[in-house]
Amino acid sequence: MYHYVRPIRNSEFSDIKGLEITQFQNQIAFFRQNFHFEDVDFFFSSLKSKKYERNSSIFLTFDDGLKEHYTHVFPILKSEKIQGLFFPPAKPIQENIVLDVHKIHFIFS
Low-confidence spans in the chain with pLDDT less than 70: 52-54
Question: What is the reported pLDDT for 47?
Answer: 82
Round to whole Å and give the CA distance between 100 and 33.
37
Round to whole Å and give the CA distance between 35 and 81.
14
Length of the chain: 109
What is the amino acid identity at position 34? N
Round to whole Å and give the CA distance between 80 and 8.
23
Question: What is the reported pLDDT for 81?
Answer: 97
Round to whole Å and give the CA distance between 75 and 71.
7
Question: What is the reported pLDDT for 33?
Answer: 95
Question: What is the reported pLDDT for 102?
Answer: 84
Question: What is the reported pLDDT for 46?
Answer: 83
Question: What is the reported pLDDT for 62?
Answer: 94
Beta bridge partners of 84: 60
Note whether 82 and 61 are within 8 A (CB).
Answer: no
What is the amino acid identity at position 23? Q
Cα 41 → chain centroid: 18
pTM: 0.84
- pLDDT single digits (tens) 10-39: 888 788 888 999 999 999 999 999 999 999
